[in-house]
């Protein structure tokens, strides 16, 4: 086991050398830890020419698209790198264009929600699924948004950052042309769909209109940082179509969440609770699910238990999936998660009161 010395307590523990702080010091001594964390996040963003911190210019213009709360000064970009203030106007992708790519993924696919979704199980058949079991012969249109409003230091898809400042957008018309007759579901992920939610919402309703009378589920895989004024439309797209909104609940301790992502936890929890208000309206297919990536030294059984308790207090029937860690990006020096830790996390989630818990990516466990 590779142990490193924490920059605050001086103890040898499992931790990321890029962060340099153990989870105990993050919780108990955050004021001392915060400068180290801010420096790490700034360095990681500088490598991609992204804004090093959230713009908070008092004289700046507010961007209303997501929950990051950017106030952008003249000539500067918002945190996600998509929008810029020029001559007092907020410029960036319009509602019918996005910085995005997509591909056809055969069903059943390796999705966070494959164990509870119509494409993987046939639940909701015949209203929301083409088959009573896995939808062999059909496809998911996987739509990858090439921008994000978080800065996860262990990002599994970090290569999208190279495309954030690409000059060409894809259009709504191009998106609609990609939906073949065999497409049974659309999944928005990334990056994250929340910084480009206006396009995704518009595209969803246009696609559903074109496929009227046929099955087309709209799903979202997200960090949860949607703007509150756009979230109702996000909910509507999935609720009417049989789709699922998949929240990545990365941590429930705010200090650990900030260390790993550079963001605030509060908007995520509030948005999760808002989506959960609609959970009982469509019992045949779960509208909402959550997942957590186990991160050695930071997000293990104790943190999973807190997340599970949060979910169970809202509704114990909300499905929850625990995912095994793969060392990536600026946290490549962390080890794989052990089977013992993963199975203890699984049991703690169940004991917290959740009725539907699953362990994914088990092939990554050591």
Q: pLDDT digit string (tens) for 264-305?
A: 999 999 999 999 999 999 999 999 999 999 999 999 999 999
What pLDDT, in 10s, does the model give residues 193-227?
A: 999 999 999 999 999 999 998 999 999 999 999 99
- 2-29: average pLDDT: 96
What domains can be seen in the chain, in order of their start residue? 1-47 (no CATH), 51-92 (no CATH), 97-364 (3.20.20.70)
Please report which confidence band the pLDDT of residue 167 belongs to, taking 50, 70 and 90 as the band edges.
Answer: confident
Q: Which residues are annotated as a binding site for [4Fe-4S] cluster?
A: 148, 152, 155
Token pair belonging to 167:
């000059």
Nearest CA to 107 out of 96, 126, 95, 121 is that of 121
Q: What is the pLDDT of residue 165?
A: 80
Q: What is the pTM of this model?
A: 0.96
Q: What is the pLDDT of residue 116?
A: 97
Q: Which residues are annotated as a binding site?
A: 148, 152, 155
DSSP state of 236: H
With beta carbons less than 8 A apart as the criterion, state whether 120 and 106 touch: no
State how far the Cα of 255 lies from the Cα of 237, in Å rounded to an integer: 33
What pLDDT, in 10s, does the model give residues 113-143?
A: 999 999 999 999 999 999 999 999 999 999 9
Is the pLDDT at 11 greater than 60? The verdict is: yes
What pLDDT, in 10s, does the model give residues 43-76?
A: 999 999 999 999 999 999 999 999 999 999 999 9
Please report which confidence band the pLDDT of residue 1 belongs to, taking 50, 70 and 90 as the band edges.
Answer: low
Supply the DSSP string of 153-214, one letter for each residue. Answer: TT-TTGGGGGGTT-SPPEEHHHHHHT--TTEEEEEEEES-SGGGHHHHHHHHHHHHHHTTTS
- 333-362: average pLDDT: 96
């Amino acid at each position: 086991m590779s142990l490193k010395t924490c920059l605050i307590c001086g103890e040898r523990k499992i931790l990321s050398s890029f962060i340099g702080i153990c989870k105990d010091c993050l919780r108990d001594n955050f004021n001392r830890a915060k400068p180290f964390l801010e420096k790490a996040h700034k360095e990681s963003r500088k490598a991609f020419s992204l804004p090093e911190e959230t713009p908070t210019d008092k004289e700046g213009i507010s961007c209303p698209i997501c929950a990051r709360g950017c106030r952008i000064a003249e000539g500067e970009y918002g945190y996600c790198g998509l929008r810029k203030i020029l001559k007092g106007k907020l410029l960036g992708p319009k509602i019918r264009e996005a910085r995005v790519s997509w591909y056809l993924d055969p069903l059943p696919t390796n999705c966070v929600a494959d164990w509870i979704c119509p494409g993987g199980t046939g639940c909701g058949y015949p209203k929301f699924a083409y088959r009573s079991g896995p939808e062999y012969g059909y496809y998911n249109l996987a739509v990858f948004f090439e921008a994000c409003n978080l800065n996860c230091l262990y990002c599994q898809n970090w290569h999208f950052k190279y495309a954030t400042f690409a000059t060409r957008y894809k259009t709504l018309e191009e998106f609609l042309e990609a939906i073949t007759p065999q497409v049974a579901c659309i999944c928005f992920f990334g990056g994250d769909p929340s910084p480009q939610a206006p396009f995704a919402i518009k595209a969803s309703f246009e696609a559903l209109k074109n496929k009227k009378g046929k099955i087309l589920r709209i799903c979202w895989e997200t960090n949860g940082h949607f703007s509150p004024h756009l979230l109702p439309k996000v909910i509507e797209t999935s609720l009417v179509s049989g789709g699922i909104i998949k929240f990545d609940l990365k941590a429930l301790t705010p200090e650990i969440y900030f260390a790993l992502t550079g963001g605030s936890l509060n908007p995520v929890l509030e948005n999760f609770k808002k989506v959960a208000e609609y959970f009982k309206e469509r019992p045949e297919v779960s509208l909402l699910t959550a997942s957590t990536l186990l991160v050695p030294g930071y997000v293990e059984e104790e943190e999973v238990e807190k997340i599970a308790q949060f979910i169970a207090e809202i509704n114990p029937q909300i499905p929850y999936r625990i995912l095994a860690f793969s060392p990536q990006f600026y946290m490549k020096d962390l080890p794989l998660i052990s089977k013992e830790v993963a199975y203890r996390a699984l049991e703690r989630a169940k004991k917290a009161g959740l009725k539907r818990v699953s362990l994914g990516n088990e092939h990554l466990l050591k």
